Structure 1
Amino acid sequence: MSFPLLTATAVLPALGAIATAAVPAARRTVAKWLALLVSLATLALAGIVLVRFEPGGDRYQLTESQSWIKDFGVRYELGVDGIGVALVALTALLIPFIILAGWHDADPHETGSRRWRPTQGYFALILVVEAMVILSFEATDVFLFYIFFEAMLIPMYFLIGGFGDKAHEHGEGTAATQRSYAAVKFLLYNLAGGLIMLAAVIGLYVVAGNFSLQEIAEARANGSLHMAQSTERWLFLGFFFAFAVKAPLWPLHTWLPNAMGESTTPVAVLITTVMDKVGTFAMLRYCLQLFPEASKWATPVVMVLATVSIIYGALLAVGQRDIKRLVAYASVSHFGFIILGIFAMTSRGQSGATLYMVNHGLSTAALLLVAGFLISRRGSRLIADYGGVQKVAPVLAGTFLIGVLATLSLPGLAPFVSEFLVLVGAFERYPAIGIVATVGIVLAALYALVLYQRTMTGPVKPEVARMPDLRVRELLVVTPLIALLIFLGVYPKPVTDIVNPAVKQTMSDVHKTDPKPEVEAAK
């Protein structure tokens, strides 16, 4: 039997979490280094997965399959396509930066609690989330996917509620209350989506007789499995609702600003750049592949909801006075672009959406982590408490500017390519929606540049006059992300070569071809 590489990529951080949690309380620095080394080892395994993956080869590669619950047809089945392998690599890449950025976030002298060993628990929970997210990207059994899709909520709940942001404008008691509220809201929203999805998973088993994604999709494609139109639509809605909550899509997004605002900055990055990608990834893998006709039936409504998300998220970002909540609403707008590309049902749109998942992860991680370093220095999340930072901390201001420019999709940085492809894909089938969605670009420039202007330029406020610039550890976090944003902005081919074959297969699943141009090219 060949080495189970996909299993190892997920099991390693899980075992690392157990080892990290078991480190004695007096050795919290050991726990930090252990978590970081485990995350780097996981990144190395993900790199091997990426190298061994053959673009244009079999749809699902490096597959593993073992019987699990035989009576119900549940199997332990793993496999990655081009979209899955790109997101596994993104997850494994970001976790070391998240751990390094949160190096001091859970130190006992800062939390005031020594009884629960918060440092060990903090980093162990991050590794647990990594393991579950990676397994969600790798699972090709619907029931197995559902287990990890829901199980990741538990460690995230404790990360949000147990390790809150210290830069809070209210007292500690109020901050603890708001953390609890944000954690409970996050859990209830996502559990509600998961329970509805569970009903749909059971319904799918009743119709198909098994949970294998590949077998069900092949049966649908060759006509051996027939679903009544109403059945397929109800099952699609059950799956889509859960994914729309996780993504998040308007109007199911309201848990995200609370969760990101009350979390530590690294946990906020974990939520929006890692965990939320499971929702949009699942729309491509499960909604379109299992329910192609229902996906086409729902497309007009989903496109409208995605457009509302783009405009609504950007408008609310413009009016924010809290840095982290501004980034949260900006992410709602960005996820609107991703979902718009998925349901445009064009190869350009879906390639752009997949590329957007990767690029959004890099750009939002860069911006939010630098913002976290800024907040930790001043002790406030309020935009009004800053001013003139570029004069006292020019490196911090410069990296923050690159993150801001990536957020507004400046040409030459990675998000521009993906956003351009999404809009082109939308224009091909839905020109009116494409025009409206383009307004989101203008609003993004407004909230992003105003954020930079109010925090970094102008007179130096007394509270920031002695603000130190980025330290070595912080530069180690930010520099690779910025380098990747520039590299993929100039040369996105390494990612598009991996995802494009998977996108073509998804287009084939829904029996869609790209519209022909109205004007033929000159010969």
Structure 2
Amino acid sequence: MNVPWLTVLWLLPLVGAVVIILLPPAAGKLARWLGLAVSVAVLALSIGVGLGFKAGGPTYQFVESHRWIPTFGAGYTLGVDGIALVLVLLTTVLVPFLLLAGWNDGGEKPRGTQAYIALTLTIESMVVISVVSLDVLLFYVFFEAMLIPMYFLIGGFGSGVQRSRAAVKFLLYNLVGGLIMLAAVIGLYVVTAEHGTGTFDFRQIVAAVTTGSLGTSSAVEKALFLGFMFAFAIKAPLWPFHRWLPDAAVESTPATAVLITAVMDKVGTFGMLRYCLQLFPDASTYFRPLIVVLAVIGVIYGAIVAIGQTDIMRLIAYTSISHFGFIILGIFVMTTQGQSGSTLYMLNHGISTAAVFLIAGFLISRRGTRSIAAYGGVQKVAPVLAGTFLIAGLATVSLPGLAPFVSEFLVLVGAYNRYWLAAAFGVTALVLSSIYILWLYQRLMTGPVAEGNERIRDLVPREIFVVAPLIALLLVLGIYPKPVLDIINPAVGNTMTTIGQHDPAPIVRPGTAHVPGMAEGPHR
């Protein structure tokens, strides 16, 4: 009997959400423990899928395919490749820790605890099915549907006074992108119908694109690419479509901010890598220089603006804009190093951002303010909190030995092989990121204890249980990323083959210094 593991994987948190929301108002404590149990069960199931995934096997594994809307060629088709598997594991690893970190979030309102946990599990469910979907229409449905629970998490449970405004801004930005993408999805179906049987099956469309049987004109392909790319650029977000993110992250609870930046936004970069590149390879190549320029601007802009922030959470939000620029840069330089680095960066950014957001949230909950100026000397009264914040902060700087270093290095190497100038500008962000993190740490944690900070207590066992595994993952993946790269690389190789791209060969120019012992050969 073939067990539909991927269906169980995305349905389990959704069923758990329904059960939790139906609990009586007085069952808040039960809702917390039940939500945590469901998220741990989902994590265990995803680990089982990961262990059953064969890195050298077929590109898409655990495939399920059923008829959904035959009239429109839409099917319920799921499958996981190495890239999707990494994002599934990232999502299912983070959600239990987010529920623990936000253990008391939502408790002030009647049935608030049940609603908060149910919304979180619903987003987990929708993110998982989005990345394992192999049907374009199915992907679009859940790509858009996840906006609704996130809107309520920001507007209904946010900790800022402007949370309603931030929630509306988030929703409007993403709905506009989604509507344009819907037009592109319909256009893609029309194109497939004109050259055969209309379908939304991703693998069938990619096969038709690869063989040239789809017969799309260049103008149509570019228009469809822009429709998909616009929605993904808002979701990711790519500069200058980023304006919704800082407000949403600041006005949310820390756990929800992590859910936005570390989990949900990755669907945008995943969509670029899977749908934009593979469905529209020629258009992707045509717009590649423009997107690379926007990505580099985002890298530098996010870092510079972060330096000038006076709000802890807003500063961290702008660092994510810089990191998303790196991820998108690696995707669109279209080299194996760049795309492998970008996929690994999605994982590492998710872990490091989760750690720094949550630790900052623990600090703010103790002091009651997000203003950097209100702090000082925290390491004297809360050394564990300060130490873990320093490690998480250094991870965002991509310090060697911590996980983001490997992924950022791969992105820069991949970018240099295709666009050396983009890589050169990207490297400047390493200096800028050192400034914003080390200066933030200095103002928050060092020096004499500021007035009002003497009462700040150190991390409690529940908080240590949240932070310690994230720090451990940053260290392990920083020292030994090979198991993850072994999963990612075959999927990246398949993407490169599908889009007809090859890594640029090293160019040896006349006059290059001769290395003794090396065989002479013709210069290129």
- Residue in structure 2 matching 1:197, options 166, 170, 181: 181
Residue of structure 1 in register with 2:98 after alignment: 98
Residue of structure 2 in register with 1:212 after alignment: 201
- 2:71 paired with 1:71: yes
CA distance in 2, matches of 1:519, 1:33: 62
- Deviation of 1:143 after TM superposition, in Å, equals 0.1
Residue of structure 2 in register with 1:171 after alignment: none
CA distance in 1, matches of 2:459, 2:106: 20
CA distance in 2, matches of 1:295, 1:419: 22
Residue of structure 1 in register with 2:231 after alignment: 242
Residue of structure 2 in register with 1:145 after alignment: 139
CA distance in 2, matches of 1:462, 1:104: 27
Residue of structure 2 in register with 1:182 after alignment: 166
User: Contact between 1:346 and 1:507, CA under 8 Å: does it hold in 2?
Assistant: yes
- 2:124 paired with 1:130: yes
Residue of structure 2 in register with 1:358 after alignment: 347
User: Contact between 1:28 and 1:119, CA under 8 Å: does it hold in 2?
Assistant: yes
CA distance in 2, matches of 1:354, 1:454: 33
Deviations 1:384-430 (A, max 9, x none): 11100000000000000001000100000000000000001100010
Residue of structure 2 in register with 1:516 after alignment: 505
User: Contact between 1:296 and 1:510, CA under 8 Å: does it hold in 2?
Assistant: no
CA distance in 1, matches of 2:66, 2:265: 28
- 2:144 paired with 1:160: no
CA distance in 2, matches of 1:513, 1:199: 32
CA distance in 1, matches of 2:56, 2:138: 26
- 2:18 paired with 1:10: no
TM-score (norm 1): 0.96
Residue of structure 2 in register with 1:278 after alignment: 267
CA distance in 2, matches of 1:466, 1:224: 69
- Deviation of 1:20 after TM superposition, in Å, equals 1.1
Deviations 1:271-330 (A, max 9, x none): 000000000001011001100000000100000000010011111100011111111100
Q: Which aligned pairs between 1:355-434 and structure 2 lie closer than 5 A?
A: 355-434=344-423
**Matched residue SS, 1:26:** coil
User: Contact between 2:174 and 2:231, CA under 8 Å: does it hold in 1?
Assistant: yes
**Matched residue SS, 1:196:** helix
Residue of structure 1 in register with 2:217 after alignment: 228
- 2:312 paired with 1:288: no
Tell me the matched-pair count: 507
Deviations 1:309-366 (A, max 9, x none): 0011111100011111111100000000000000011100000000000000000001
**Matched residue SS, 2:41:** helix
CA distance in 2, matches of 1:118, 1:137: 29
CA distance in 1, matches of 2:124, 2:5: 16
CA distance in 2, matches of 1:164, 1:503: 38
CA distance in 2, matches of 1:501, 1:371: 37
Structure 1 unpaired stretches of 5+: 169-174
- Deviation of 1:62 after TM superposition, in Å, equals 0.3
- Residue in structure 1 matching 2:429, options 434, 440, 446: 440
- Deviation of 1:107 after TM superposition, in Å, equals 1.4
Residue of structure 2 in register with 1:172 after alignment: none
- Deviation of 1:219 after TM superposition, in Å, equals 1.1
Q: Which aligned pairs between 1:85-124 and structure 2 lie closer than 5 A?
A: 85-108=85-108, 113-114=109-110, 117-124=111-118
- 2:32 paired with 1:32: yes
User: Contact between 1:204 and 1:235, CA under 8 Å: does it hold in 2?
Assistant: yes
User: Contact between 1:74 and 1:141, CA under 8 Å: does it hold in 2?
Assistant: yes
CA distance in 2, matches of 1:323, 1:8: 39
- Deviation of 1:518 after TM superposition, in Å, equals 2.1
- 2:308 paired with 1:319: yes
- Deviation of 1:22 after TM superposition, in Å, equals 1.3
Deviations 1:139-169 (A, max 9, x none): 000000000000000000000000011xx5x
Structure 2 counterpart of 1:321, one-letter code:
T
CA RMSD of aligned residues (A): 1.0
Structure 2 counterpart of 1:152, one-letter code:
M
- Deviation of 1:57 after TM superposition, in Å, equals 1.2
Residue of structure 2 in register with 1:255 after alignment: 244
- Residue in structure 1 matching 2:486, options 497, 500, 507: 497
Please identify, of 335-344 and 513-522, the stretch whose mean Cα deviation from structure 2 is larger: 513-522
Structure 1 counterpart of 2:39, one-letter code:
S
Structure 1 counterpart of 2:52, one-letter code:
R
CA distance in 2, matches of 1:343, 1:224: 25
CA distance in 1, matches of 2:104, 2:371: 21
**Matched residue SS, 1:62:** strand
User: Contact between 1:129 and 1:156, CA under 8 Å: does it hold in 2?
Assistant: yes
Structure 2 unpaired stretches of 5+: 193-197, 510-514, 520-524
**Matched residue SS, 2:174:** helix
Structure 2 counterpart of 1:473, one-letter code:
R
- Deviation of 1:462 after TM superposition, in Å, equals 2.2
Deviations 1:63-99 (A, max 9, x none): 0000011111110000011000110011000000000
Residue of structure 1 in register with 2:477 after alignment: 488
- Deviation of 1:228 after TM superposition, in Å, equals 0.4
**Matched residue SS, 2:57:** coil
User: Contact between 2:78 and 2:134, CA under 8 Å: does it hold in 1?
Assistant: yes
- 2:319 paired with 1:330: yes
- Deviation of 1:519 after TM superposition, in Å, equals 3.9
Residue of structure 1 in register with 2:467 after alignment: 478
CA distance in 1, matches of 2:291, 2:66: 36
User: Contact between 1:342 and 1:349, CA under 8 Å: does it hold in 2?
Assistant: yes
Structure 2 counterpart of 1:408, one-letter code:
V
Residue of structure 2 in register with 1:51 after alignment: 51
CA distance in 2, matches of 1:223, 1:26: 61
- Deviation of 1:56 after TM superposition, in Å, equals 2.1
- 2:443 paired with 1:454: yes
- Deviation of 1:25 after TM superposition, in Å, equals 1.1
CA distance in 2, matches of 1:289, 1:33: 42
User: Contact between 2:210 and 2:499, CA under 8 Å: does it hold in 1?
Assistant: no
- Deviation of 1:441 after TM superposition, in Å, equals 1.0
Please identify, of 252-261 and 433-442, the stretch whose mean Cα deviation from structure 2 is larger: 433-442
- Deviation of 1:105 after TM superposition, in Å, equals 1.6
